[in-house]
Amino acid sequence: MRRRTKIVLAITFMVAVLVSAFSYIYISQLLRQQVTTADATASNLTSNLAFLATKAAPDLSSTRVDTSNPQAVRRAIAYYLGTDRDLNNFLESVVGSWPMIYDAAIVDSEGNAILHTNPDLIGKRVPDRPTFQRIEDANFRQQLRLVYNPPTIYDVRMPLQLDGEPFGSIRVGVSTVFLKNELTPQLQHALLFSSTAILFSLVLAAGLSHLALGPLERISSPTSAGRCAIPRRFSPP
């Protein structure tokens, strides 16, 4: 292999390694930021829903509800939650205001939806989903696999206490489709940048090696050596 070719390949390989490393760090940090933002948004929504639910449920001891009957207490709380305007308006705005949120629900201790962004699921059992903590705790490669697997909904949950007793939980679903849609353009940009940088380094390395080694190759060529050779003098016999 010629010296010029070796230099070109060495420079190109070095640039490719550096570009790949920087792209890896950039994408991993970007994905981590998206995951953190999604978790913070969902956690904030669960806190707001918990506050509004607590505000909507009155002190049942001042009502006609038989507080010694757990079923009556739960029915009363479900009624107050379902008729509170602030709570329901906020719940309805969740999906439209935050694109990464798939749905939100207030679920009782038996897993039945008291309130849900999908009205068809109210009163029905809400299926269990994996928690969003699974994505947060994963490393970069695992996060990529989770995000680019078939679309999955992960829940951010918060226990809910009403009237001084555990009532159920608040669940906010985060879709991996959002993370995928946010990350894919950045991956494409990073891939385009990496390819351009490697191609540019290849052309630049070829040009520099030609300028640096061209004169040396011409000097060391057989033709140049013949031109520079000093003719011998022969003595007459």
Residue 202 inside a domain? The answer is: no
For 68, residues 6+ apart whose C-beta sits below 8 A from its C-beta are none
Q: Confidence class of residue 69 from pLDDT cuts 50, 70 and 90?
A: confident
Residue 236 inside a domain? The answer is: no
Tokens of 156: 């951010």
Higher pLDDT, 19 or 115: 115
Q: If you ran DSSP here, which 8-state letter would residue 221 be given?
A: S
CA-CA distances (angstroms) from residue 147 to 4, 18, 150, 172? 44, 26, 8, 18
> Is the distance from CB of 76 to CB of 60 less than 8 angstroms?
yes
> Is the distance from CB of 163 to CB of 59 less than 8 angstroms?
yes
Higher pLDDT, 159 or 66: 159
Task: Judge if pTM exceeds 0.85.
Answer: no
Residue 36 inside a domain? The answer is: yes
Give CA–CA dist 189/195, Å, rounded.
Answer: 10
Residue 228 inside a domain? The answer is: no
Owning domain of residue 69 = 3-189
Residue 74 inside a domain? The answer is: yes
pLDDT digits (tens, 9 = 90+) for 157-192: 999 988 777 889 999 999 999 888 888 887 787 778
**DSSP result, 32-44:** HHHHHHHHHHHHH
Segment among 16-25, 112-121, 179-188, 211-220 with least mean pLDDT: 211-220
Residue 207 inside a domain? The answer is: no
Residue 45 inside a domain? The answer is: yes
Number of domains in the chain: 1
Residue 68 inside a domain? The answer is: yes
Tokens of 93: 């705005």
